[in-house]
Amino acid sequence: MAMLQFFIAVDVTVVNVALPSIGADFGVDGHALTWVVVGYTITGGGLLMLGGRLGDVLGRRRVLLLGTTVFGAASLLAGLAPSFALLVTARLLQGAGEAIALPAAMSVIVLMFPEGPRRSRALSVWAAVASCGLVLGFVVSGFITELLGWRWIFLVSVPFILVVLLAAIFLLPGERPVGRTPLDLPGSFLLVAAPLLFTFGVVEAGEGNGTTSWLAPVALAGAAVAGALFVGVERRSRNPLVPLRFFRNQPRVLANFATALVSAALSTSFLLFTYYLQDRLGASPVQAGVTMLPLAVSLIAASVLVPRVLERWGARLCVLAGICCTALAMAAIALVSHFGATGLAMIPAMVFIAAGMGLGIVGLQYIAVTDVTEEDAGIASGVQRAADQLGGSTGITLYVGIGFAPALNGTDPFLASSFLALAGLAVAGFVAWRISVPTAVTAESIS
């Protein structure tokens, strides 16, 4: 499960450093290249809850194998794509494969480990592997792009995906499907359409092109309509994608909302690191990747320490500490960029990001899957993952998209993006403070 999580996480960020090479090969500009990144994360995040529901209905092992197969085949297609349109299609399929496979994998872990220290350790490993995959995607992308070519950033994962498939076949027990329950396909479509339209609208608004300015308000209005229709569909559906009663659990709702806000800042920090090192300082892809190694090392250290801290402090205090660390990181990024310091000056921010990701995301994951049962483990996992991934995508769209928009020419983009992220983290801190963790869960976490 961790190997699958790692390579899926790598694919979220591995394309960033390779984007200029991809654009040069296919003759497309930066505006079109945005969809190579955002299309994958939004499609994956929007379909995650459908993937969670599939696992509950059809059996987690069967759905895990299906999603992993789709992801591996799409990775192969992306590496061999003869055109840009086919590459984007492959990235959308990668997102779909992730959405099907990851909720099943996470629900397997949740059901294997009981609430308490064992589950907190398991989720810490799960989150740390994802974090390392996100960071190492930046690190290895530079080496692979310069030495082998950008196509290998996709092809390198194919053999490992085959290992995951074989291991899942032989190690995971089979399950009987719960029944032939109809799936909420309209809800799934709307959940993908809303963030895609929102992203398109924000990007178009930031471009400031007079000839296409009408597209921005139309897309944003379409996003609002799709969101409202999604709520209406879920209320009327006999088998909703996410039963609205699922959100009657206040700690679960607040934890997922806070997850989206924290993930937005964390995802923004990754891009700000890369942009500062390459665009502001002129570092090569390999130099930028090496400079970000302290972030990867810090994440590994956090994976070792966070389980102990979670057991001693409890989930809510860990979340608040993680949010504070992330806020300190964003403030450090703003200061370093303002004074034009060297890349080494970003190391404190990287350490704070690792602490924020370890403490904040793991604590929120623990709260978000508290009190789950066999019937709703997949939904709980899918909602949590969707909040994490859609939050990250939305954060990049808003914080980086607005901060670096041509329409804001003359404003320091790093300062603007960091300020927006800090505002989101302030809201996340208030939400986390309002989370009331059940007494039994707190006791188990501390024991």
- How far apart are alpha carbons 161 and 168 in whole angstroms? 11
Domains of the chain, residue spans: 2-183+241-446
- Position 188: which residue type? S
Q: Does residue 298 surpass a pLDDT of 80?
A: yes
Q: What is the pTM of this model?
A: 0.78
Q: What is the CATH number of domain 2-183+241-446?
A: 1.20.1250.20
- How far apart are alpha carbons 166 and 175 in whole angstroms? 17
Q: Average pLDDT in the 127-147 region?
A: 77
Phi first, then psi: give them for residue 243, nearest 5 degrees.
-55, 130
CB atoms within 10 A of CB 148: 12
- How far apart are alpha carbons 89 and 73 in whole angstroms? 12
Mean pLDDT: which of 197-211, 237-251, 347-361 is highest?
347-361
Q: Which of 114, 116, 137, 120 is nearest to 5 (CA)?
A: 137
Give residue 168's Cα distance to chain centre.
Answer: 23
**pLDDT value, residue 109:** 81
**pLDDT value, residue 447:** 31
Q: Average pLDDT in the 210-232 region?
A: 82
Three-state secondary structure call for residue 150: coil
Mean pLDDT of the chain: 82
CA angle at 147 for the pair 146 and 149, rounded to the nearest 5°:
70
Q: Average pLDDT in the 10-25 region?
A: 80
Q: Does residue 385 surpass a pLDDT of 60?
A: yes
- How far apart are alpha carbons 34 and 15 in whole angstroms? 10
**pLDDT value, residue 42:** 83
Three-state secondary structure call for residue 435: coil
H or E, element range at 176: none
